[in-house]
């Protein structure tokens, strides 16, 4: 796929999400249907992308042969005409490449053992690398033009349509090094990636998890999957065994994990200094032109109102009937007996009704996707697990992958992925290809907005007090894990780097553990017993090791979605119009501005405070229902 500068990257716009929990172990492959046992209406129609493989091969050959056209622009990007002509062929190639990727990727994900699609995917990946190499001269040549001269170029008829792209490219020019220096940093990226790569191997493949007794007294070896599902168990002793057993290897290897994490900390600090940023947070947020105030407002506002999470902890402790509330109790359901099943067709009707507040244009487009095989619904043999939305930025339309199992979580996953799909669809329909993507800062907003509207609809139409209570709990657990938890990670990440920058001190394993435990206690309050294991939880958060100040965006996305869903319900048409404008904007403006136009200013604390007020309100409603039930 392309990024905001038009530079190729090998990733499609694929958005993944896990909704309302951590899922369950997949069924044995032999128990699953084969694809030919599933009706066509529940499967993707890949003919929407290419009518057949011959067409795919023809487009592949065309791009591969035509890559040589880049050569005629080498050293000649010195005029609006030359730049525009180069962009024309560049984005034409990228559109074709993205469709090639989509066809191969969708085919591969429906049958991971099919060598044909795997081979096609590998072929197009190689072609993507070749395209990236062939076009690598473009950004250095364009940014070598004086800013004053480029300002004039942008006003020309040839380049006016690339105004945002070019201005953003030059916005970061002050932090861009010389071509030779950039090449040196690029070569060292293989070295600076070692801590993350080592973490992946250690955490995902070599971690020596112990064997414990499961809920039935059988010996099982712990894993990441068993940890996640175990925290939802209604058996408190099993939850405790899973929790404590999982942390045994993290505690035993804490110094190794600390060395790997500090390797990333040092890299971020060094790269920020080299590029002339004040600190690593500023360097990370500047890529998408996000003010540091967004990050700081999130943390400081939550800090003032942590009593909201404290209330939730006290209520969980009371309803669960526990003398002590421990971290391994935080995901246990207060209402385990409330479970309903939904067929896919039933869920379609419910989601369609729940999203009516978004207006006819939105709903009609969504229904079009339901009726025209934009979604691959059921789990089948060798199909990729999980769920995602996949878009090329150039049509024919986005696709959704599901693995339907008739649960409430499946229905929320459907609404979530539809949000991604509609965001991509409206952007593609209203923006040229080079603006059809959207920043990760807003990537989860549309999907969580759909979840919020679905939840409210289900609460309003609940058939019993018990069902209503379970739905309020679902929201509060989501707020606990997506809003508070990710903000806590963001605060921890910032604090560790601030200490390193301001005090010149790199924290050791025990210091990292103490800091993490103190923050956990501060967030959850006096009703939560912070077990020694929880302090070591920093070691099992991949985002801290692999990504660069990324997690805060989960919290801000949650905040923006709550604000937008409330506006849509309360204001009606004016808010719908702003929201469709948001969905249609793509990257034609900076993400912070796109959200502001929609009615949410994330540079101010107000939206965060409003979300905290909503969480507080839902806790109060749940408390009332619990009393009413008694």
For residue 98, give every residue at least 6 positions away whose Cβ sits within 8 Å of its Cβ, in sequence order, or none.
Answer: 1, 2, 12, 392, 393, 394
Return the residue matching tokens 């024309």.
88
Which tokens hold the place of 141? 């040549």
Helix (H) or strand (E) holding 376: strand 375-378
Is the Cβ–Cβ distance between 551 and 543 less than 8 Å?
A: yes
Q: Which two tokens stand for residue 239?
A: 């939850």
* Beta carbons of 400 and 388 less than 8 angstroms apart: yes
**Per the omega criterion (within 30 degrees of 0), is the bond before 245 cis?**
no
* Continuous H helices in 18-114: 53-66, 80-110
Kindly write down the DSSP assignment for every residue of 254-286, as one continuous string: HHHHHHHHHHHHHHHHHHHHHTT-SSHHHHHHH
**Residue 491, exposed/middle/buried by CB under 10 A (0-12, 13-18, 19+)?**
buried
The first and second tokens of residue 449, run together, are 């907005």
Neighbour tally for 206: CB within 10 Å: 11
- The token pair that represents 198 in the structure block: 């080592």
Do the strands 399-404 and 375-378 form a parallel or antiparallel pair, or are they unpaired?
parallel
Select from 145, 139, 104 the least CA-distant residue to 10: 104
The torsion of the CA quartet 185, 191, 194, 197, rounded to 10 degrees, works out to: 60
- Contacts with 48 (C-beta within 8 Å, 6 or more apart), sequence order: 373, 396, 397
Q: Is 388 helix (H, G, I), strand (E, B) or coil?
A: strand
Active site residues: 417
Q: Where are the beta strands (DSSP E) in 165-243?
A: 211-213, 219-221
Helix (H, G, I), strand (E, B) or coil at 13: strand
Closest among 457, 464, 445 to 411, alpha carbons compared = 457
């Amino acid at each position: 796929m392309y990024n905001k500068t038009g530079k190729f990257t090998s990733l499609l716009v694929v958005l993944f999400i896990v909704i309302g929990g951590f899922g369950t172990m997949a069924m044995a492959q032999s128990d699953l249907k084969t694809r030919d046992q599933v009706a066509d209406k529940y499967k993707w129609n890949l003919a929407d992308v290419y009518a057949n493989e011959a067409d795919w091969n023809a487009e592949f050959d065309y791009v591969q042969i035509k890559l040589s056209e880049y050569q005629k622009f080498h050293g000649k990007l010195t005029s609006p005409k030359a730049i525009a002509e180069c962009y024309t062929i560049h984005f034409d190639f990228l559109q074709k490449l993205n469709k090639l990727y989509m066809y191969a990727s969708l085919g591969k994900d429906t049958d991971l053992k099919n060598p044909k699609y795997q081979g096609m995917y590998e072929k197009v990946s190689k072609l993507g690398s070749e395209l990236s190499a062939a076009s690598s001269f473009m950004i250095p040549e364009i940014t070598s033009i004086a800013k004053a001269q480029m300002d004039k170029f942008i006003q020309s008829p040839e380049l006016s349509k690339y105004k945002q792209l070019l201005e953003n490219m030059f916005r970061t020019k002050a932090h861009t090094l010389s071509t030779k220096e950039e090449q040196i940093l690029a070569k060292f990226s293989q070295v600076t990636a070692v801590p993350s790569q080592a973490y992946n191997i250690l955490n995902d493949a070599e971690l020596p998890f112990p064997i414990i007794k499961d809920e039935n007294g059988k010996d099982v070896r712990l894993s990441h999957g068993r940890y996640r599902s175990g925290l939802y168990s209604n058996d408190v002793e099993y939850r405790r065994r899973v929790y404590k057993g999982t942390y045994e290897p993290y505690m035993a290897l804490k110094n190794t994990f600390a060395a790997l994490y500090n390797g990333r900390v040092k890299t971020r600090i060094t790269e920020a200094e080299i590029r002339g940023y004040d600190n690593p947070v500023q360097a990370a947020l500047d890529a998408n032109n996000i003010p540091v105030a967004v990050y700081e407002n999130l943390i400081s506002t939550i800090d003032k109102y942590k009593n909201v999470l404290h209330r939730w902890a006290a209520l969980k402790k009371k309803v669960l009937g526990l003398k002590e509330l421990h971290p391994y109790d935080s995901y246990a359901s207060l209402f385990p007996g409330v479970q309903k099943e939904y067929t896919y067709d039933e869920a379609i009707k419910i989601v369609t009704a729940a999203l009516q507040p978004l207006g006819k244009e939105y709903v009609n487009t969504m229904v079009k996707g339901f009726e025209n095989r934009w979604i691959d619904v059921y789990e089948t043999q060798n199909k990729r697990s999980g769920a995602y939305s996949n878009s090329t930025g150039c049509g024919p339309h986005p696709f959704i992958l599901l693995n339907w199992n008739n649960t409430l979580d499946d229905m929320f996953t459907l609404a979530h992925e539809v949000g991604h799909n509609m965001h991509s669809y409206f952007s593609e329909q209203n923006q040229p290809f080079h603006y059809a993507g959207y920043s990760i800062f807003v990537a989860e907003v549309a999907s969580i907005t759909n979840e919020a509207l679905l939840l409210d609809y289900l609460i309003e139409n609940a058939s019993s007090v018990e069902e209503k209570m379970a739905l309020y709990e679902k929201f509060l657990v989501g707020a606990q894990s997506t809003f508070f938890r990710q903000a806590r990670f963001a605060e921890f990440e910032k604090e560790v780097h601030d200490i390193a920058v301001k005090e010149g001190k790199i924290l050791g394993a025990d210091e990292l553990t103490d800091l993490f435990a103190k923050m956990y206690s501060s967030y959850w309050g006096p009703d939560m017993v912070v077990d020694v294991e929880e302090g070591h939880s920093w070691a099992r958060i991949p985002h801290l090791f692999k990504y660069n100040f990324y997690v805060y965006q989960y919290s801000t996305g949650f905040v923006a979605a709550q604000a937008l869903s409330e506006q849509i319900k309360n204001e009606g048409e004016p808010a719908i119009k702003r929201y469709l404008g948001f969905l249609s904007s793509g990257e034609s403006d900076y993400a912070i501005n796109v959200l502001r136009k929609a009615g949410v200013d994330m540079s101010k604390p107000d939206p965060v405070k409003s979300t905290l007020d909503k969480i507080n309100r839902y806790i109060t409603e749940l408390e009332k229902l619990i009393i009413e039930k008694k």
